[in-house]
Amino acid sequence: MNLAKYDWSAEAADIEARFYVPCHNGEALLLALMRAVEYEGLSCADNYRFARYYDPDSMRAYLTAEARGCCGTYSMQVWLDGEPYIAGCNHGH
């Protein structure tokens, strides 16, 4: 499987803050999250993160990034190619 790296966190040098998602799903995950941010009216959204829901390493990195963010958090479940992912961000200031 071809993988693409998406470093959405400000702590990109930290391996725990990096997320690896399939190339064909990366754009779909980001688009789904950006649409949700707009729909929910979340201001100052940042620290975008994604994880495969049933992948312990991916979820650990997701939760680490979430804890490092400030203000409010937003998470949503996204199904792509029959596989569940979690996508989220921090928002507000």
In tens, the pLDDT along 26-59 reads: 777 888 888 888 888 888 888 889 899 999 999 9
The answer on pLDDT for 6 being more than 80 is: no
Any idea of the CA torsion for 53, 56, 57, 59, to the nearest 10 degrees? 40
Confidence (pTM):
0.68
pLDDT for position 57: 92
- What digits encode the pLDDT tens for the residues 66-84? 998 888 899 998 888 888 8
Question: What is the spatial distance between Cα 60 and Cα 72, in angstroms, rounded to a whole number?
Answer: 19
At 23, is the secondary structure helix, strand, or coil? Answer: helix
Question: What is the spatial distance between Cα 80 and Cα 15, in angstroms, rounded to a whole number?
Answer: 24
